Amino acid sequence: MYFVYVLLSTKRPYIYVGLTNNLERRIRQHQGGSEKTTAPYRPFQIILTETYTTRIHARQREKYLKSGVGKEYLKAIAESFGQVAEWQTR
């Protein structure tokens, strides 16, 4: 199983899109600050998770969510969580 997940910073306007085969471990790494890319934006809340049987399909979805249309979709989700600002996505 592979997971595509989206994290929303609770302190800054930042959305992170990732892919993993171990969702719990990966979220723990982000929340714990061991990931250099996301450490300055902690803490996070999970705003989306999706499960895929192949890494290929998960990667396609991750790439879509990082595209222009995907970013707009994620901004709309983030706004429903009360976040409105200039958004960055990674």
Rounded to two decimals, the pTM is: 0.89
Give the span between the Cα atoms of 53 and 2, in whole angstroms. 6
Nearest-10 Cα torsion for 33, 35, 37, 42: -20
Query: Residue 84: what pLDDT?
Result: 52
At residue 67, φ and ψ (nearest 5 deg) are -80, 175
Residue 48, Cβ density class (10 Å: 0-12 exposed, 13-18 middle, ≥19 buried): middle
| Residue percentage of the chain with pLDDT more than 90 | 81
Q: Show me where the domains of the chain are located.
A: 2-89
**CB proximity list for 42: less than 8 A, separation 6 or greater:** 9, 11, 30, 31, 33
Kindly report the CATH class assigned to 2-89: alpha beta
